[in-house]
Structure 1
Amino acid sequence: MKLPKRSKQHISETASFKLFQSKIPDSWIIREVTERDYGIDCYLELVNDDDELTGELVLIQLKSRQTILWTRENTYTLIGIDIATSNYWYKFAVPVFIFLADIEKQEIFMLSVDYWIKRNFSEFIKQSTFNYTFNRSSLFEGKDGIFFFKFYFYYEHYRQQFENELLFFLTSLQHFQDFQIEHHNRDYHLGIEGTDLIYFEAMHRNYKFLCIYFNLDNPIPPMRELKKKSREKFGDALHYELYEHDLTEWVGEFQKLTLKIIKGLKEFLDGEMSYWLTINPSIYNYIINIREDGQLPSW
């Protein structure tokens, strides 16, 4: 008696899904989708270290091979994805990841779609074929795999905020530098007036975000801690939240961070050169012409 048989494709899809489920933390939530023909197999909702739901979502596309045939350079190129699917992924407001499963070895590898597109933008905008190259080091396994997944997730999750903070940094950089010089070694007991305090807080927030985004060490304490120490030192009698002493103490670190952030921006934009030269060449050309000592272009 003849009976229906499952296709190899369906068996492979089920195997990759089970493998993916086995690799993610138990606290993370997989939400399956009813329609899988549009390049999304499931939603992944992240949970923080305190097992709290954060509302942070990732869209997942699962691919599988019985055995991944790595090149000598330890890469594997996924071909045959319709350009319309890549366009669809690229337009999502939340990060999209491709997970590639090696069924035989029970390993799974990850690639951030947006990260890959922005670093290969010249090929992407040709709108013909667009392939995705996995590196063997992108193994999604254990704590290291989770760490690198989160790194690429937050890289995309905060991308729009990064571009906003980038513009704020560039348009304020000369004022930041002037402000830092102006408040170096002034009378320690002078209170910081309202306008200067607002400006300092904006600079502090901007540097903090960019340091986190570029994974730079930032020795400057949180604003709340700066204000707390200032109250302990000067008391509340004059009703100032910060004094010149507080700014002078950290101006040197701000100046060092300025140069580190500029270097980070240059390296970052070099990695996405074709993207920026297409989307906003003015920003790219401006940043690469900032000198190592922080001197801005004169044009």
Structure 2
Amino acid sequence: MKLPKRPKQHILETASYKLFSSKIPDEWIIRDITERDYGIDCYLEMVNDDNELSGDLALIQLKSKDEIEWTNKDTFTHYGVDISTTNYWYQFPIPVFIFIGDISNQKLYFNSVHYTIKRNFDQFVKQTTFPYKFKKSDLFEGKDGVFAFKFHYYYEKYRQQFENELRFFISNLQHYKDFQQLHNNLDYHLGLEDTDQIFFESMHKNFSFLCTYFNIDNPIPKLRDIKKKSREKFGNESHYELYEHDLTEWMEEYEKLTINLIVGMKSFLNGELPYWLRINPTIYNYVNNIGDDGTLPYE
């Protein structure tokens, strides 16, 4: 008697879902969807360190192989995604990830779609095929795997803010340098006027975000901690929130950070060279012409 047979691909799909479910942290939530024909298999919702639901959602596409055949450079290239699906993923305002399961070895690997597109933008704009390259180091396993995944997640989640902060940094770079030099040796007991404080707070916020995004060490305390220390030193009677002493204490660090951010920014944009040359060549060319010592173009 002839009976229906379950296709091997369906078996692999189920196996990859089980593997994916077993590898993610227990606190995270897999949100299933009813339609899976458009390149999205499920939503993954992360929780913060206090196990609070903070709205951190990623879209997940699950792939699987009996066993991944790695090259001698420990890479594997997946060609099975239609360009229309990649275009669809690229339109999403939230991060999209491909997870591929090595069923025989019970290993799970991930690839950030937006990250891959931006770093292979010339291939993407051809609109023919767009492969996804996995590395053995893209292993989603334990704390290291979770950390790497979250790094790529936040890279994309805050991407639009990053591009805004990048423009802000570039357009204010000369003002930053002038401000840092001016406030490095003024009378410690002078209160900071409103316009200077507003500029300082904007610079502080801009530097803090970019240091985090570029993974650059930032020794400068949070703004509230600087203000708290200032109140303890100068008392609460004055209407000034900050004094020249508070700025002078950190201006040399800001000057060093300015150079570090320039170097980090140039390296980052070069990593996405095809993307920037097509999307905003003006920014790329300007940044590329900034000296590593902070010398501005045409200065």
Letter in 2 for 1:107: K
- Corresponding residue for residue 199 of structure 2: 199
Residue 292 of structure 1 deviates from its aligned partner by 1.2
How big is each residue's C-alpha offset from its partner over 1:29-62, in whole Å with a ceiling of 9 and x where there is no partner? 0011111111000000011111100111000000
How big is each residue's C-alpha offset from its partner over 1:75-121, in whole Å with a ceiling of 9 and x where there is no partner? 00001311000000111000000001000000010000000000000
- Corresponding residue for residue 266 of structure 1: 266
Separation in structure 1 between the aligned mates of residue 71 and residue 238 of structure 2, nearest angstrom = 68
- Corresponding residue for residue 51 of structure 1: 51
Separation in structure 2 between the aligned mates of residue 32 and residue 80 of structure 1, nearest angstrom = 22
3-state SS in 2 of match to 1:295:
coil
Separation in structure 1 between the aligned mates of residue 132 and residue 227 of structure 2, nearest angstrom = 48
3-state SS in 2 of match to 1:134:
strand
Letter in 1 for 2:111: L
Q: Any residues of structure 2 matched to 1:151-190 within 5 Å, and which?
A: 151-190=151-190
- Corresponding residue for residue 64 of structure 2: 64
- Corresponding residue for residue 36 of structure 2: 36
- Corresponding residue for residue 288 of structure 1: 288
- Corresponding residue for residue 75 of structure 2: 75
Identity of aligned residues (%): 66
Separation in structure 1 between the aligned mates of residue 93 and residue 71 of structure 2, nearest angstrom = 33
Separation in structure 2 between the aligned mates of residue 239 and residue 87 of structure 1, nearest angstrom = 54
Letter in 2 for 1:25: P
3-state SS in 1 of match to 2:110:
strand
Structure 2 stretches of 5 or more lacking a match?
none
| Aligned residue pairs, count | 299
When normalised by structure 1's length, the TM-score is 0.99
- Corresponding residue for residue 113 of structure 1: 113
Separation in structure 2 between the aligned mates of residue 142 and residue 216 of structure 1, nearest angstrom = 24
- Corresponding residue for residue 232 of structure 2: 232
Residue 236 of structure 1 deviates from its aligned partner by 1.8
3-state SS in 2 of match to 1:260:
helix
Letter in 2 for 1:226: I
Separation in structure 1 between the aligned mates of residue 135 and residue 180 of structure 2, nearest angstrom = 43
Letter in 2 for 1:162: F
Separation in structure 2 between the aligned mates of residue 277 and residue 33 of structure 1, nearest angstrom = 37
3-state SS in 2 of match to 1:61:
strand
User: Deviating runs (4+, > 3 A) in structure 1?
Assistant: none
Letter in 2 for 1:221: P
Separation in structure 1 between the aligned mates of residue 33 and residue 83 of structure 2, nearest angstrom = 22
3-state SS in 2 of match to 1:257:
helix
RMSD: 0.8
Separation in structure 2 between the aligned mates of residue 119 and residue 23 of structure 1, nearest angstrom = 27
3-state SS in 1 of match to 2:128:
coil
Separation in structure 1 between the aligned mates of residue 137 and residue 143 of structure 2, nearest angstrom = 14
Separation in structure 2 between the aligned mates of residue 105 and residue 144 of structure 1, nearest angstrom = 19
3-state SS in 2 of match to 1:276:
helix
When normalised by structure 2's length, the TM-score is 0.99
